Structure 1
Amino acid sequence: MATLDSLSDLLQDEIKDIYDAEKQLTKALPKLAKKATAPELREAFEEHLQQTEEHIARLEQVFDQMGMPVRGKKCEAMQHLIAEGNDMIGEAEDDATRDALMIAAAQKCEHYEIASYGTIRVWANLLGKTEVATLFEDTLEEEKEADQKLTQIAESCVNQQAAESGEGEEEEEERPRQVRAASRGRQGAADRGRSRSRQLA
């Protein structure tokens, strides 16, 4: 592992990290879009896939401007975020619940990217690399917009649908219990009636 002895070293290391993170997302986003039930959510994932490809192209400009080889470093944080999201999504049986989970998983990834781009933008400015910082700023704003769009989709329809779906399942579970309780009540009344009849006889 290379040593990190300066802010310039840190900047280069983080650029490699976020480059790999973006690459991982180009594989994850099509899967999310395919599984999404809400049309607006599917559209958001497809749109962000296009943006992610643009982000990769910007980072490749950064590599060139900084005289770095175009090579990423395995972003374990993004790898774990994607894996965690996949595990949770795989457990969801209801469409609306799955959509809500996918938004949550995607926003965790967005927040990682927002933190990363915000940090390297500041570092680039401090090091006098203003053109590089501008590229990071452009991507940072797009990541924030993507995150906000997911929030709007969640709050406008998906979360409510997931909540209503959960209530429906609870009602379905409650109904058999009520039927069993009523049946036991009728059976108990019948038993008591037979007992009184025998006593009178």
Structure 2
Amino acid sequence: MKLTKALTIIFLIFSFHNIVKADDIRDFEIEGMSVGDSLLDFFDRNEIEKKYVYKSDKYYLFVSSKFNSENYDGVQFHIKKNDNKYLIAAIEGLKIFDDNFDDCLKLKDLIVNDLKNSLEDTEIFEDEGNHDYDPTGNSKFYRTNFSINPKSKYINMSVTCYDWSKKIEDEYADKLSVAIANDEFNDFTNNEAY
């Protein structure tokens, strides 16, 4: 991937109101949408297909390829069950890497380096390991976390590559995820989801 094309992708990933001073996750957008926005501003109610993927049904997942672009193959949303306003608790831009997982890791590194250079006073840490969804322990993740709001209990944004095992690849594709989530959803994923 040529550097100019990679930089174009990186700069198009987020729309920022003021990235250097951002301390609210609502300042970050994926395809023009942010945590706290109503999904109804972008979709009709009948377009929203609720998919429950966690052991708790407190939140549901909705995936759309409506925003398929050069940057993403789709966008994934997490909405709290029974929320009549359909407020986005978490949003992820997804880029599929079926054939070359190394390309996922390269793009992740480019995005992370750009964000590190753009964000001031942001706690950043890396982790990797086995994904909890796969009981075989053969599905891996490689993640960089950004704590945008120092008052937040959890990380607010992450850039992750998922390398699913052959058993899981029938259900999930290897992918890059650029994710933004509120504390309530992060609390759910850390304590109830799996």
TM-score by length of 1: 0.26
More helix by share: 1
Larger radius of gyration: 1
TM-score normalised according to structure 2 size: 0.27
